[in-house]
Amino acid sequence: DIQMTQSPSSLSASVGDRVTITCRTSQRITTFLNWYQQKPGKAPKLLIYATSNLQTGVPSRFSGSGSGTDFTLTISSLQPEDFATYYCQQSYSTPLTFGGGAKVEIK
């Protein structure tokens, strides 16, 4: 199985801050990396697929980058509605695996 390690597992930030979350995989997955946002009591929502492609309707303040084993999700200017938990997921091979999550909290 491909192991996914996200960091940090949690962070506190203020509205307007630039936030970066990292995902590292245990083996190279080219660009088969996806990012989700999950709010309490809700299903995950796809934000970015294939490393850097913004899902339809997702604000442009979200961006993704990386390749190989190291990937990044960036929120350029944190908004109140962005406080949530973010998960990475590899779609390179089965079993599909997810990172442990990164909780973005209000400072």
CB of 92 to other proteins, least distance (A): 7
Task: Please tell me the distance from the alpha carbon of residue 52 to that of residue 34, in angstroms, as a whole number.
Answer: 8
Buried b (16+ CB within 10 A) or exposed e, 20-38: ebbbbbeeebebbbbbbbe
Nearer to other proteins, 55 or 65 (CB): 55
Q: Tokens 């938990």 — which residue?
A: 85
Backbone angles phi, psi at 81, to 5 degrees: -80, -5
Helices (H), the chain: none
Residues lying near other proteins in the complex (CB under 8 A) are found at 1, 32, 34, 42-46, 49-50, 55, 87, 89, 91-101
Nearer to other proteins, 19 or 90 (CB): 90
CB of 16 to other proteins, least distance (A): 28
Nearer to other proteins, 31 or 75 (CB): 31
CB of 56 to other proteins, least distance (A): 9
CB of 87 to other proteins, least distance (A): 6
Q: What is the largest CA-CA distance in the chain?
A: 38
Nearer to other proteins, 42 or 60 (CB): 42
